[in-house]
Amino acid sequence: MNAAGQFPPPLRYAPARRPSSGALSPIEALSAAWGETLRLLFRPFSGRRWIMLSVVCMFLGGGTSTAAFRWGFSTLPVDVDPAQMLLRARVIIAEHLSLIVLAATLSLGLVLTLLYVRCVLRFALVDAVIKQDAALGPAWRNLQPLGRAYFFWVLGVLSTLLLMASAVAVLSFPHLSSGCAESRPSWLASLLLVTALAVVVLVGLLVAVIITLTDDLVVPLIYAERISFPAAWGKVWKLARRDMGTFVFYVALRFVVSIGISVAVLFFLFPVLMGLSSGAIIAVALVILALRAVGFAWAWNPVTILLGVVALLLLTGLLFILLSVVGMPGQVYVQNCGVRFIASRAPSLEALCRASSASGRRR
pLDDT digits (tens, 9 = 90+) for 27-65: 988 888 898 888 888 878 888 888 888 888 888 865 444
What's the domain count of the chain? 1
Band the pLDDT of 192: cuts 50, 70, 90: low
> What whole-number distance in Å separates Cα of residue 47 and Cα of residue 301?
43
Pick the residue with more confidence: 344 or 185?
Answer: 344
Q: Which domain holds residue 297?
A: 46-68+76-356
CA angle 147, 142, 124 (to 5 degrees): 55
What is the pLDDT of the chain when averaged over all its residues? 75
Task: Classify residue 7: in a domain, yes or no.
Answer: no
What confidence score (pLDDT) does residue 351 get?
86
> What whole-number distance in Å separates Cα of residue 358 and Cα of residue 277?
47
Task: Classify residue 24: in a domain, yes or no.
Answer: no
What confidence score (pLDDT) does residue 44 get?
80
| Residues 233 and 164: beta-carbon distance below 8 Å | no
Task: Classify residue 245: in a domain, yes or no.
Answer: yes
Task: Classify residue 123: in a domain, yes or no.
Answer: yes
- Cβ neighbours of residue 337 under 8 Å, at least 6 residues apart? 26, 29, 30, 32, 33, 216, 254, 257
Q: Give the CA diameter of the chain.
A: 95
Task: Classify residue 19: in a domain, yes or no.
Answer: no
> What whole-number distance in Å separates Cα of residue 126 and Cα of residue 336?
8
Q: Average pLDDT of 315-319?
A: 74
Judge if the upstream peptide bond of residue 44 is cis by omega within 30 degrees of 0. yes
What confidence score (pLDDT) does residue 70 get?
40
Task: Classify residue 275: in a domain, yes or no.
Answer: yes
What confidence score (pLDDT) does residue 209 get?
83
Residue 108 has pLDDT above 70, yes or no: yes
Q: How far apart, in Å, are the Cα atoms of 47 and each of 34, 51, 128? A: 20, 6, 15
Task: Classify residue 151: in a domain, yes or no.
Answer: yes
Q: Average pLDDT of 145-158?
A: 87
Task: Classify residue 33: in a domain, yes or no.
Answer: no
Q: How far apart, in Å, are the Cα atoms of 291 and each of 6, 285, 294, 352? A: 83, 10, 5, 62
Roughly what angle, to the nearest 10 degrees, separates helices 47-60 and 136-179?
A: 20
Q: Is 11 helix (H, G, I), strand (E, B) or coil?
A: coil
